[in-house]
Structure 1
Amino acid sequence: MTLAIMQPYFLPYIGYMQLMSAVDTFVLYDDVAFINRGWINRNRVLINGQEYLFTVPLKDASQNKRINEVHLADDPKWRSKLLKTIEQGYRKAPYYATVMPLTEKIVNFTTDSIADLVYFSLVELNQYLGLTTRLVQSSSVYANVELKAQERILDICRQENATRYINPIGGTELYDKPTFEKAGIELNFIKATRVEYPQFKNDFIPWLSIIDALMFNDVAAVKVLLGEYELV
C-alpha cells in the first residue's frame, strides 16, 4: 500500500493533485501547526491573463494553533466574492459549464473549519476526476501528536501498513531512505514535470489552482496531466 501525507491545501495546484493520485491513501496532516501565508487557505487563479491570489479569510489564525483548530471568518461574503472572481476569470473557458457547479459546491460547503473545507474539497475533486485514493484526516485517526517529524510519519505508515511512502521532492533533506527501509517502507520523492495546456490565448502561467486545469481540460486530459511526474 502506497501512502502520502500533506498539509491540507485549498483548491491546490496540480502537483499536489499528482501526489494524491499517485497513492492509495492520502493523509491530510491537519493536526500540525498552521502556517501563516502558506497554501492552506490561499491559491492562485487566472484573471485577465494574470495570476490572481485569492485567500479564504480566517478567524484568529495563528501558528500557535493546529490547522484543525483554525476557523473560517464569520463574514460569509467571501464565498460569493470568490465565486464571482472565478466566474469572471473563466466564464469563457471550455469546461466552465461543468467545473463551475463543482466549484460552487465546494466553496459553499457549510462549515466553519478550514481543515474540513479542504477535506470536503479534495473528496469532491477526487470524485470528479474518478480517482480512487482514500482520504484521511490525521486528527481523526492516529493519536500520535506527541511524535515529531520523521518518527510521526513512520508511525502513520506503520498504522496504515504502508509499504511505500511518497513525499514531495522538497523533503529530500527531511527524510532518510535507510531509516524507512529499515522499517520495511520504500521511500520515494515525487518530482512534477512542467505541465502546460492552452489558457485562452495568453502566455501559459504554470502551477495555478487545479480549478484552472479543470476549466481548460476535460477529465481525461487532466488525468493525463496528473501522470506528468517522476519518482526518485
Structure 2
Amino acid sequence: MTLAIMQPYIFPYIGYFQLINAVDKFVIYDDVNFIKQGWINRNRILLHGKEHLFTVPLEGASSFKLIRETELNYKSYRTWEVKFLKSLEQSYKKASNFGDCFELMQKVFKRIEGQTNIADLAVASIVEVCNYLELKTEIKLTSTIYDNQNLSAQSRVIDICIKEAALKYINPEGGQSLYDHMVFEEHGLQLKFIKVGLDEYKQFNLPFSKGLSIIDVLMFNPRERVKQMVNNYNLL
C-alpha cells in the first residue's frame, strides 16, 4: 500500500491532486500548526486576465494554533464567499468548462455550511474535486486517528505509515532534504518523491500562467482532460 501526507490547502494546484492520484491512501495533516502566508487559506486564480491571490478571511490566525483550531472569520467569510463566487463568474464565465466548475465550487461551499474552521473548508475543496475527477484514493484526517501528535516530522510520518501498514511513502519533490531513505528502509518502507507535471492549456488568449489553483484548470478543461493531467507525474 502506498501513502502520502500533506496539510490541507484550499483548492490546491493540480500537483496536489497528482500526489493524491499516485497513492492508495492520502492522509491530511489537520492537527499540525497553521502556516501563515502559506497555501492553507490562499491560492491563485485569474481575475480580469491577471494572476490574483485570493485569501479566505480567518479569525486570529497564528502559527501557534493548529490548522483544525484556526477559525473562519465567519461574518467576513460569508461576505467573502459571495464576492468570491461573483468574481469567479465574472472572470471565467466565457471559459469552456465554466458551468461544471462553477457548480462544483457552489457544492464545496454548501458542504461546509455550519462549519467554522479553515480545515473543514480546505478538506471540502479537496474531497469534492477528487469526487469530480473520480479519484478513488482513500482520504483520512490525522485529527481523527493515529494519536501520535507527540511525534514530529519524519518520526510521525513513519509512525503513520506503520499504523496503516504502508510499504511505500511518497512526498513532494521539494521535501527531499527532510527525509532519510535509510531510516525509512529500516522500517520496511520505500521512500519516493513525486515530480509533478504542469501541462499547458489555453487560458483565453493570455500567456500561460502555470501552477494556479485547480479552479483555473477545471474552468478551462473538460473532466476527462483533467483526469489525464492528474496522471502526468514521475516518481523519483
Task: Name the TM-score class by shorter chain.
Answer: over 0.9
Partners of 1:136 and 1:190 in 2: CA distance: 20
Partners of 2:14 and 2:196 in 1: CA distance: 9
Partners of 2:43 and 2:93 in 1: CA distance: 19
The 3-state SS of whatever aligns with 2:52 is strand
Q: 1:48 offset after TM fit, Å?
A: 2.0
Partners of 1:132 and 1:225 in 2: CA distance: 16
Alignment pair present for 1:159 and 2:160: no
The 3-state SS of whatever aligns with 2:106 is helix
Q: Which residue of structure 1 aligns with residue 29 of structure 2?
A: 29
Q: Which residue of structure 2 aligns with residue 77 of structure 1?
A: 79
Query: Deviations for 1:51-89, whole angstroms, at most 9, x for unmatched residues?
Result: 110000000110000100001002111110111111111
- Residues 5, 29 of structure 1: 8 Å contact kept: yes
Query: Deviations for 1:208-231, whole angstroms, at most 9, x for unmatched residues?
Result: 000111111111110111111111
The 3-state SS of whatever aligns with 1:173 is helix
The 3-state SS of whatever aligns with 2:200 is coil
Partners of 2:139 and 2:5 in 1: CA distance: 10
Letter in 2 for 1:78: W
Q: Which residue of structure 2 aligns with residue 89 of structure 1?
A: 91
The 3-state SS of whatever aligns with 1:136 is strand
Query: Deviations for 1:10-37, whole angstroms, at most 9, x for unmatched residues?
Result: 0001111111111111111011110001
- Residues 96, 221 of structure 2: 8 Å contact kept: yes
Letter in 1 for 2:29: Y
Partners of 2:59 and 2:91 in 1: CA distance: 27
Query: Deviations for 1:151-210, whole angstroms, at most 9, x for unmatched residues?
Result: 000000011111110000111000011111111111100011332111111110000000
The 3-state SS of whatever aligns with 2:104 is helix
Q: Which residue of structure 1 aligns with residue 221 of structure 2?
A: 217
Q: Which runs of 5+ in 2 are unaligned?
A: none
State which of 190, 197, 203 in structure 2 corresponds to 1:199: 203
Identity of aligned residues (%): 50
Query: Deviations for 1:86-111, whole angstroms, at most 9, x for unmatched residues?
Result: 11111000111111011012134311
Alignment RMSD, CA only?
0.9
- Residues 30, 67 of structure 1: 8 Å contact kept: yes
The 3-state SS of whatever aligns with 1:127 is helix
Partners of 1:36 and 1:194 in 2: CA distance: 26
Q: Which residue of structure 2 aligns with residue 14 of structure 1?
A: 14
Partners of 1:220 and 1:185 in 2: CA distance: 33
The alignment's TM-score, normalised by the length of structure 2, stands at 0.96
- Residues 119, 137 of structure 1: 8 Å contact kept: no
The 3-state SS of whatever aligns with 1:187 is strand
1:1-232 mapped onto 2 (5 Å cutoff): 1-75=1-75, 76-108=78-110, 109-110=112-113, 111-232=115-236
Letter in 2 for 1:222: V
